[in-house]
């Protein structure tokens, strides 16, 4: 009996012990590894969440919205810190001042224009097509109130425009113009040669974007910028040569797919808010702008490359000697060995045009653009994607505007291809190009809004003429000279230094600029001042007229008069660091140092990292005079 009771108690103890997965005794509870995994993942996330909340409560960081309310809360304006979530420390990425009411009036037509530097109006947005469209609409339909908001920015692409469009959709848009596609291959989230394809996955790109909007990542960025100081990587020609990407690289296919997906999101975001979208193709300089970078096909053997280079050299010799037909024959032999090299196609296009063989010439000019290994221009796949999205969403509030076709058919183009008569450089239109775009979009807006504008009268109201438009926005010969000088300076820097005949082109530009400057030194700028003053008499509330007049007055040494103009601009945009800086600079030049210092300190309150204000403030403190 005793022995049986002992065996029974032993069996009971055995049953009370938990059994492991191998059937042996274990002290772990089922599901314990899940708990550990949850703690391993969740604990850091909770910690980061707490840090994020603390940073926000303490007021650290900046808003990542594109629009912010002014301090009085009456209007929305550009958030000048918006760029930092995408390009920390890069001030060249910026927009143009604007404002619109928090409350939208019943008689108001609100139009947003989205895009990159070409849509912004680089180098001077005051003379871009967006401003012209606003002037045309207000002149032709004075019974309506138009808010035309230039929501474009320099240096961005569709990944960032998607964010801006999302913000625009919250503010009662009636019309949105989307003019974008030049920066897809080289801009934000663009692929580098040899980079993993997973980095072009949209989920990965958008996940990184979402992280960059957190205050915690803003804190890391701030630390990173302080550590870098002035040691940031310089984008010299060696840098750009390393970034060249062949036209048939799989990464470019990813770029084109992402662009199309972003465009679809942009359009759907806006149309879901009741907005009509004008989606435009993007014309570029084809006939007068050689490729920025060219690459051979990777399969080329050393012997084939040597023969190709011999033929190419011989072709250039014949071309320079005026033996164009012979040059074409030699270039075509080189193309049979390797037709990937973009510059070869540009030379073929040029020679074929000289021989009057325009159809074949156009083909090679377009191949030169499409095979550019440093693609700073919208190419055929980009415009094909735009047309595809336009057709796909045509029944959902999207209208395709074919600006590329309009430019090709312009009398200012060369045998159907746009060139220097319409463009300043590769993508930025000169005044005539911007005027053509303004007409294209004015006509599209008037057509889409229809009865809402003319009350059902169907009366056609044509756009302003070129001269009427120039007069309304005070576009003068001096402004044209300043724009051309800015473009010449830009083209004489990377990434353009390897371009075909770069030195010759820059020398010609400089010579032309010097001749025009000499002419102004002789006759002065009284005519230009008169144009500005007459325009201001007609439109005294147009802040851009006052701004440009201030710049002109400052240039000719009339600093006191410039100060009065810049004060009006600062009154319009009191929280714009750039607007206030121009006033401070004029005050310093007028030797009104105390007032200049007051504005510079206000700028640094708005933006502690605003370098131009720091430099000017330092020059005043150390030397009692401004840096000229």
Which tens digits make up the pLDDT trace of 123-180?
A: 999 999 999 999 999 999 999 999 999 999 999 999 999 999 999 999 999 999 999 9
Residue labelled with tokens 């314990």: 32
**pLDDT for the residue numbered 459:** 67
The closest of 500, 561, 458 to 374, measured between CA atoms, is 500
Q: 216 with 72, same domain?
A: yes
Residue 271 maps to which CATH number? Answer: 3.40.50.1110
**DSSP code per residue over 462-508:** PPPPHHHHHHHTT--HHHHHHHHHHHHHHHTSTTSTTSTTHHHHHHH
Domain count, the chain: 3
The closest of 133, 191, 110, 134 to 157, measured between CA atoms, is 191
Q: 282 with 177, same domain?
A: yes
- Residue 39 or 187, more confident: 187
CB 442 within 8 A of CB 111: no
Computed over every residue of the chain, the mean pLDDT equals 91
The closest of 129, 393, 110, 402 to 269, measured between CA atoms, is 393
In a domain, 581, yes or no: yes
**pLDDT for the residue numbered 326:** 98
Q: 173 with 218, same domain?
A: yes
**pLDDT for the residue numbered 58:** 83
Q: 343 with 452, same domain?
A: no
Q: Which residues are CB-neighbours of 150 under 8 A, at least 6 positions away?
A: 95, 96, 98, 113, 119, 120, 121, 125, 128, 130, 131
Of 351, 370, 389, which one is at a domain's C-terminal end? 370
Range of the domain at 212: 67-226+248-288+377-475
In a domain, 293, yes or no: no
Q: 471 with 589, same domain?
A: no
Q: 426 with 316, same domain?
A: no
Band of pLDDT at residue 236, cut at 50, 70 and 90: confident
Report the alpha-carbon distance of residue 454 to residue 613 in Å, rounded: 48
Report the alpha-carbon distance of residue 416 to residue 163 in Å, rounded: 35
Sheet holding 67-69, edge to edge: 67-69, 75-78, 99-101
Q: Rounded mean pLDDT of 411-420?
A: 98
Q: 468 with 589, same domain?
A: no
**DSSP code per residue over 379-446:** -HHHHHHHHHHHHHTTTTTEEEE-HHHHHHTSTTSBTTB--TTTBSSSS-B-HHHHHHHHHHHHHHHH
Which tens digits make up the pLDDT trace of 202-227?
A: 999 999 999 888 888 888 877 877 66
Of 370, 388, 408, which one is at a domain's C-terminal end? 370
Q: Rounded mean pLDDT of 425-448?
A: 98
**pLDDT for the residue numbered 17:** 45
Q: Is the pLDDT of residue 606 over 90?
A: no
CB 393 within 8 A of CB 267: yes
Q: Rounded mean pLDDT of 528-556?
A: 97
Q: 198 with 338, same domain?
A: no
In a domain, 263, yes or no: yes
571: how many CB neighbours lie within 10 A of its CB? 11
Band of pLDDT at residue 30, cut at 50, 70 and 90: low
In a domain, 29, yes or no: no
Q: Which residues are CB-neighbours of 409 under 8 A, at least 6 positions away?
A: 416
Q: Rounded mean pLDDT of 325-338?
A: 98
Q: 272 with 402, same domain?
A: yes
Per DSSP, helices labelled H in 141-236 are 158-168, 202-212, 215-228
- Residue 324 or 611, more confident: 324
Per DSSP, helices labelled H in 141-214 are 158-168, 202-212
Q: 471 with 343, same domain?
A: no
What's the Cα-to-Cα distance from 148 to each of 136, 219, 450, rounded to whole Å? 11, 35, 18
**pLDDT for the residue numbered 10:** 47
Q: Rounded mean pLDDT of 403-419?
A: 98
Q: Rounded mean pLDDT of 534-558?
A: 97
In a domain, 545, yes or no: yes
In a domain, 495, yes or no: no
In a domain, 234, yes or no: no
Q: 347 with 402, same domain?
A: no
Of 330, 352, 370, which one is at a domain's C-terminal end? 370
Residue 310 maps to which CATH number? Answer: 1.25.40.10
Report the alpha-carbon distance of residue 481 to residue 525 in Å, rounded: 12
In a domain, 337, yes or no: yes
Percent of the chain residues past pLDDT 90, beyond the cut = 78
Which tens digits make up the pLDDT trace of 481-492?
A: 999 999 999 999
Q: 309 with 416, same domain?
A: no
């Amino acid at each position: 009996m005793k022995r049986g009771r002992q065996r029974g108690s032993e069996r009971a103890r055995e049953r009370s012990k938990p059994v492991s997965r191998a059937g042996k005794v274990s002290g772990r509870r089922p599901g314990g590894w899940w708990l550990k995994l949850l703690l391993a993942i969740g604990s850091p996330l909770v910690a980061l969440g707490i840090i994020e909340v603390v940073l926000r409560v303490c007021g650290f960081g900046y808003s990542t919205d594109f629009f912010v309310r002014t301090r009085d809360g009456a209007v929305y304006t550009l958030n000048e810190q918006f760029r930092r979530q995408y390009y920390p420390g890069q001030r060249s990425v910026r927009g143009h001042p604007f404002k619109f009411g928090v409350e939208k009036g019943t008689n108001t037509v609100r139009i947003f224009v989205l895009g990159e530097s070409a849509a912004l109006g680089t180098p001077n947005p005051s003379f871009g097509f967006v401003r012209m469209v606003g002037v045309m609409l207000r002149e032709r339909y004075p019974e309506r109130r138009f808010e035309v908001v230039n929501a474009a920015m320099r240096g961005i692409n569709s990944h960032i425009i998607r964010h801006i469009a999302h913000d625009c959709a919250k503010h009662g848009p009636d019309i949105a113009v989307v003019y974008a596609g030049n920066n897809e291959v080289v801009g934000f989230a663009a692929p580098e040669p040899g980079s993993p394809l997973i980095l072009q996955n949209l989920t990965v790109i958008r996940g990184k974007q979402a992280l960059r909007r957190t205050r915690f990542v803003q804190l890391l960025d701030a630390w990173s910028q302080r550590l870098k100081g002035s040691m940031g990587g310089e984008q010299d020609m060696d840098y750009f040569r390393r970034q060249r990407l062949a036209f048939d690289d799989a990464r470019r296919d990813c770029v084109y797919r992402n662009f199309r997906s972003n465009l679809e999101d942009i359009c759907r975001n806006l149309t879901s808010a009741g907005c009509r979208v004008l989606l435009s193709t993007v014309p570029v300089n084809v006939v007068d702008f050689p490729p920025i970078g060219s690459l051979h096909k990777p399969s080329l053997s050393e012997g084939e490359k040597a023969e190709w280079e011999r033929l190419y050299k011989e072709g250039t010799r014949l071309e320079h000697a005026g033996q164009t037909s012979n040059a074409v024959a030699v270039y075509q032999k080189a193309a049979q060995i390797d037709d990937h090299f973009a510059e070869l196609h540009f030379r073929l296009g040029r020679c074929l045009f000289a021989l009057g063989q325009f159809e074949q010439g156009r083909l090679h000019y377009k191949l030169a653009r499409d095979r550019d290994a440093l693609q700073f221009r919208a190419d055929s796949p980009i415009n094909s994607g735009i047309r595809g999205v336009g057709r796909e969403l045509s029944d959902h509030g999207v209208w395709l505007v074919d600006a590329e076709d309009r430019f090709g058919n312009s009398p200012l183009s060369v045998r159907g291809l746009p060139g220097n008569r319409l463009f300043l450089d590769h993508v930025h239109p000169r005044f005539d190009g911007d005027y053509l775009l303004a007409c294209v979009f004015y006509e599209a807006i008037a057509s889409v809004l229809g009865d809402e504008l003319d009350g059902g009268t169907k009366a056609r109201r044509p756009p302003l003429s070129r001269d009427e438009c120039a007069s309304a926005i005070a576009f003068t010969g001096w402004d044209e000279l300043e724009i051309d000088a800015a473009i010449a300076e830009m083209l004489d820097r990377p990434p353009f230094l390897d371009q075909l005949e770069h030195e010759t082109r820059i020398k010609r530009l400089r010579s032309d600029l010097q001749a025009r400057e000499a002419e102004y030194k002789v006759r002065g700028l009284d005519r230009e001042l008169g144009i500005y003053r007459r325009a201001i008499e007609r439109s005294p509330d147009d802040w851009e007229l006052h701004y440009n007049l201030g710049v002109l007055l400052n240039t000719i040494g009339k600093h006191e008069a410039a100060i009065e103009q810049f004060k009006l601009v600062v009154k319009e945009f009191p929280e714009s660091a750039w607007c206030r800086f121009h006033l401070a600079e004029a005050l310093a030049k007028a030797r009104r140092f105390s007032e200049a210092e007051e504005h510079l300190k206000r700028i640094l309150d708005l933006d502690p990292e605003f370098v131009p204000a720091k430099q000017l403030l330092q020059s005043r403190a150390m030397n009692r005079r401004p840096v000229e």
